[in-house]
């Protein structure tokens, strides 16, 4: 296939080729040495590729077409909520009054933007059932860190020394990472045989050293932990706080509110739940919502409304300070705001209903063929296991994931959560049609019966098949040297 060329731009280079040529200037020109001090001159000209414009354009357009994206392929990447990004929100957030606003514009001259951000703070507080919001964190993991710093400030202020954060063994890796960066020791809490928090283990590990329990609910197995009220009461009984990793809010929008089930602080992943386009590592937005007892520690500034005026409030003496330059990733916050305002409360509730319906439909299509260790039912995603397939037919989760690429599907999340061996974590989202789900299910059923040796070589239709992923990540080859 033409667009599968793996030639580098440097390899296309031919000496003297140019995209365009300017006419000779009619002024005297001299060598660079006469114009620029020698300290600033390179020893040799840079080895830039020399190509014609059409070759340049084809190179980059074809490269871009080799990417998978939500606009080109079904993308059931569990835990990432890869839903369609409505183009309306792109258009609205690109309006010049928003996109061209300089972040140092005085408050008086950015009232419209401040009003949007103020309203977004209030909307996110309401969806959370909590009281105050900081829009600053740039991603979910950054929200976790920010909230844990808020918790640390809260306990410091109360003169309490609490050093531990408890985290279930099914949690996302960012949870323990954030806790360690915030200066806490991490204690892992077991899951029980239903995939939910093991209350006995939690009880055994809970004491006066516990600062925070971080829970993802629904959890990364796609299960809602219905013991949550008991859990939050247990934690509060010991004076500790409960944090919700809100990456799975797509499963509960408008149905239940974290604040109502006892959560003290949480983050949103605006780029997941509220359709900021994501992938390839960013950009994101990870606002946090907190109970009123934690409000005064939130990062400064927050947007406040005084009379009819909106302004950035920096006068917050107990604030943990700024966690992001300017006001966070406002471009992504705007997309989230337009999404929420477009759908309204009823629309958001429907998002959740359809996300859960789609996931359960796919689960029903697949569970006779793949093991789904926890749950006959799921929330917005489920985790299948290729453990038996591996044992009986030597087909691994990785083989299934790689082979799906041949069918034009992005692979599900694999080998996460860690509590499921050979995990295939599938999240279809509410934006996919029944036909798309049926097509994906048919591919999954076909793959399981294919020749294991054939699968071990998959994908068969892409330019690159099975790179050494560890080597590619740890020692990427990023330079090119002319072969002469
Ligand atoms: C995505 C995710 C995170 C991290 O969020 P980022 O926005 O990628 O930093 C944390 N926890 C869970 C469960 C997630 O799915």
Q: How far is the CA of 295 from the centre of ligand 1 (A)?
A: 23
Q: What is the pLDDT along the chain (484 residues), one digit of tens a residue?
A: 444 567 889 999 999 999 988 888 898 888 888 889 999 999 888 889 999 999 999 999 988 888 888 999 999 999 999 999 999 999 999 999 999 999 999 999 999 999 999 999 999 999 999 999 999 999 999 999 999 999 999 999 999 999 999 999 999 999 999 999 999 999 999 999 999 999 999 999 999 999 999 999 999 999 999 999 999 999 999 999 999 999 999 999 999 999 999 999 999 999 999 999 887 666 899 999 999 999 999 999 999 999 999 999 999 999 999 999 999 999 999 999 999 999 999 999 999 999 999 999 999 999 999 999 997 899 999 999 999 999 999 999 999 999 999 999 999 999 999 999 999 999 999 999 999 999 999 999 999 999 999 999 999 998 889 989 899 889 988 776 766 5
pLDDT at 279: 74
Q: Do 351-471 and 88-343 fall under one CATH topology? A: no
Q: How far apart are the first and last CA of the chain?
A: 29
pLDDT at 280: 67
Contacts of 32 (CB under 8 A, 6+ apart): 41
pLDDT at 281: 64
d(CA 32, CA 34): 5
User: Among 79, 148, 170, 174, which residue has the most ligand 1 atoms within 8 Å of its CB, making it the best to mutate?
Assistant: 174
From residue 272, alpha-carbon distances to 201, 248, 293, 339, 363 in Å are 31, 9, 28, 12, 21
How many other C-beta atoms are found inside a 10 Å radius of the C-beta of residue 345? Answer: 13
d(CA 350, CA 116): 24
Q: Which helix (H) or strand (E) holds 205?
A: helix 199-205
DSSP secondary structure letter of residue 24 = P
Burial of 134 (0-12, 13-18, 19+ CB in 10 A): buried
Q: How far is the CA of 40 from the centre of ligand 1 (A)?
A: 45
CATH class of 88-343: alpha beta
CATH number of 351-471: 3.90.1150.10
Q: What three-state secondary structure class fits 425?
A: strand
| Residues forming beta bridges with residue 424, ordered by sequence position | 384, 414
Peptide bond preceding 201: is omega within 30 degrees of 0, i.e. cis? no
How many other C-beta atoms are found inside a 10 Å radius of the C-beta of residue 178? Answer: 28
DSSP secondary structure letter of residue 312 = E
d(CA 64, CA 337): 29
pLDDT at 5: 63
Q: How is the chain split into domains, by residue range?
A: 9-65, 88-343, 351-471
**Nearest atom in ligand 1 to 144's CA:** 10
- Which residues have CB under 6 Å of ligand 1? 79, 139-141, 172, 174, 216, 220, 245, 247, 269, 284, 286
């Amino acid at each position: 296939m033409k667009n599968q060329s793996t030639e580098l731009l440097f390899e296309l280079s031919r000496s003297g080729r140019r995209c365009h040529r300017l006419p000779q200037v009619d002024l005297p020109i001299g060598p660079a040495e006469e114009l620029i001090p020698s300290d600033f001159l390179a020893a040799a000209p840079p080895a830039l590729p020399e190509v014609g414009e059409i070759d340049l354009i084809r190179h980059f357009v074809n490269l871009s077409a080799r990417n998978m994206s939500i606009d080109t392929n079904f993308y059931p990447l569990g835990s990432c909520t890869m839903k369609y990004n409505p183009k309306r929100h792109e258009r609205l957030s690109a309006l010049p009054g928003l996109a061209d606003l300089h972040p140092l514009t005085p408050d008086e001259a950015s009232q419209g933007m401040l009003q949007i951000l103020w309203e977004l703070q209030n909307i996110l507080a309401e969806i959370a059932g909590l009281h105050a919001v900081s829009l600053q964190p740039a991603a979910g993991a950054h929200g976790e860190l920010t909230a844990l710093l808020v918790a640390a400030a809260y306990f410091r202020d109360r003169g309490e020394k609490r050093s531990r954060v408890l985290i279930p063994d099914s949690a996302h890796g960012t949870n323990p990472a954030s806790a360690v960066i915030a200066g806490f020791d991490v204690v892992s809490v077991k899951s029980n045989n239903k995939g939910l928090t093991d209350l006995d283990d939690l009880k055994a590990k809970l004491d006066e050293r516990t600062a925070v329990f971080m829970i993802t609910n629904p959890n990364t197995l796609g299960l809602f932990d219905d013991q949550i009220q008991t859990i939050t009461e247990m934690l509060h009984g010991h004076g500790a706080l409960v944090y919700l990793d809100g990456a799975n809010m797509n499963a509960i929008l408008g149905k239940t509110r974290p604040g109502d089930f006892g959560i003290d602080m949480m983050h949103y992943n605006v780029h997941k739940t509220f359709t900021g386009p994501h992938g390839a590592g960013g950009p994101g937005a990870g606002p946090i919502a907190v109970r009123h007892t934690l409000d005064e520690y939130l990062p400064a500034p927050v947007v406040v409304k005084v009379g009819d005026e909106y302004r950035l409030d920096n006068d917050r003496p107990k604030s943990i300070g700024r966690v992001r330059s300017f006001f966070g990733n406002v471009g992504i916050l705007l997309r989230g705001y337009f999404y929420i305002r477009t759908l309204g409360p009823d629309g958001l509730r429907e998002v959740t209903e359809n996300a859960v319906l789609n996931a359960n439909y796919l689960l029903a299509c697949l569970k006779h063929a793949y093991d789904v260790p926890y749950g006959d039912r799921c929330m917005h995603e489920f985790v299948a296991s290729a453990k038996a397939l591996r044992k009986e037919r030597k087909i691994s989760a990785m083989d299934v994931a790689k082979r799906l690429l041949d069918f034009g599907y992005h692979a599900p999340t694999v080998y996460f959560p860690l509590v499921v061996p050979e995990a295939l974590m599938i999240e279809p989202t509410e934006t996919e049609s029944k036909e798309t789900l049926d097509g994906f299910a048919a591919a999954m059923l076909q793959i399981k019966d294919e020749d294991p040796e054939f699968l071990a070589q998959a994908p068969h239709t892409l330019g690159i098949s099975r790179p050494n992923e560890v080597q590619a990540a740890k020692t990427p080859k990023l330079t090119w040297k002319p072969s002469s």
